[in-house]
Amino acid sequence: MGKIICGIQQMGIGVPDVQDIWSWYRQNFGINVRIFEEAAEAPLMTRYTGGEVHSRTATLALSMEGGGGFEIWQFTSRPTEKAKFDIQLGDYGLFACRIKSRDVKASHQFISKNNPDKTSSLYTTPHGELHFFVTDPNGNLFNIVEEKTIFQKTKFEGLTGGVAGAMIGVSDIEKAMKLYADILGYSTVCYDVTDHFDCFENIPSGSGKFRRVLLAHPEERKGPFAPLLGPTKIELIQSIDRTDCKSIFKDRFWGDWGFIHLCFDVQGMEALKTECEANGFPFTVDSGDTFDMGEAGGRFAYVEDPDGTWIEFVETHKVPVMKKIGWYINLKNKPQGKALPKWMLKAMGMNKVK
């Protein structure tokens, strides 16, 4: 059984207060469907939490417009720590989360009305698409980008969906491509431009010179949730003139304040493990068989990109459709690459939170 990258399942976001920030994400991005909410210890992550087991609460939420979800994550055994330095463009790691919009102008109007001081102007990407940035109340940067593919039209006024990829700071784009293009399948180059960019002018260190490479996957993603997760893109950013770039999570724990990991829904974890190891990206964490997340379950693993950015893989075994009536989907024996029926995926929307 080979490996299949089914799409971006979620962006992990470390926060000081889950409920507070999720309310903002519902109001501004329409990410309002709760898949699970769970409080537990994280014993398998001690490699990245100072050798100690820490407790946390996590909520996985998504939008029925399609796109990846947010895993909103909060330590309960210690405070959630911010970076001790100002994060700047070119630093290594998950710098911005891409959010899909079927009408970027309308989304800009809606979001800027609610967040006038936190929303950038509209800009055009090097390949001619409108986009803009908005900063959430915790200081995390989101890039609202054009993506016409939708799973289901919702009544959300902002016309945005879920996660459409990420902007990732790297020290060497060619080295990073070995993971993102070769293993994760983002092998189509939409643009590769080195310049000064006006869209970065209000971002710390954004006036510098950068190489930007936007990567897409050439084929439609396959798998149980692929129609819902939809197409995504990864933008790699490399500073040309900064000499003081550092890891965004330098001297902090996994789970601390900010974008903690980018998680891919996968099938064929063993084949993926073999491929990652052969290419110099060994699994640093591996839950082995089914890891129980209370309302959901699966096998999860982590690799690091060449700069130490955390990439998570989840092979989903069990997921709730309607908890109230005990309706769960068991995916363990389903054929690889086959999408769940659309009506079943739409039924997940019944877990909407107002």
C-beta neighbour count of 284 within 10 angstroms = 14
| 242 neighbors 90 (Cβ within 8 angstroms) | yes
In 3D space, the residue among 125, 59, 68 whose CA is nearest the CA of residue 264 turns out to be 68
Report the alpha-carbon distance of residue 346 to residue 344 in Å, rounded.
5
The predicted structure's pLDDT at residue 296: 63
**pLDDT tier at 323, thresholds 50, 70, 90:** low
Task: Quote the CA–CA distance of 278 and 234 in Å, as a whole number.
Answer: 23
Over residues 88-104, the pLDDT tens digits come to: 999 999 999 999 999 99
pLDDT for the residue numbered 213: 98
pLDDT at 293 over 60: no
Reported as a single tens digit per residue, the pLDDT across 158-199 is 999 999 999 999 999 999 999 999 999 999 999 999 999 999
What whole-number distance in Å separates Cα of residue 339 and Cα of residue 341? 6
Question: pLDDT tens across 225-241, in order?
Answer: 999 999 999 999 999 99
Confidence of residue 329 (pLDDT cuts 50, 70, 90): confident
State residue 354's pLDDT score. 82
Give the pair of three-digit tokens for residue 243. Answer: 């000499």
**pLDDT (average), residues 250-257:** 97
Whether the per-residue pLDDT at 291 is higher than 70: the answer is: no
Domain 6-351: give its CATH code.
3.10.180.10
Instruction: Tell whether the model's pLDDT for residue 313 goes beyond 70.
Output: yes
Examine the pLDDT at 122 and tell me if it is beyond 80: yes
- What's the pLDDT at 15? 98
Alpha-carbon distance 59 to 18, whole Å? Answer: 8
Percent of the chain with pLDDT over 70: 97
| The pLDDT of residue 178 | 98
- The listed range with the strongest mean pLDDT (33-42, 153-162, 317-326) is 153-162
- CA 129-225-61 angle, to 5 degrees, is 75
pLDDT at residue 153 is higher than 80: yes
pLDDT value, residue 150: 95
pTM of the model as a whole: 0.96
What pLDDT is recorded for position 330? 81
pLDDT band per the 50, 70, 90 thresholds, residue 38: confident
Quote the tokens at residue 133. Answer: 């940035």
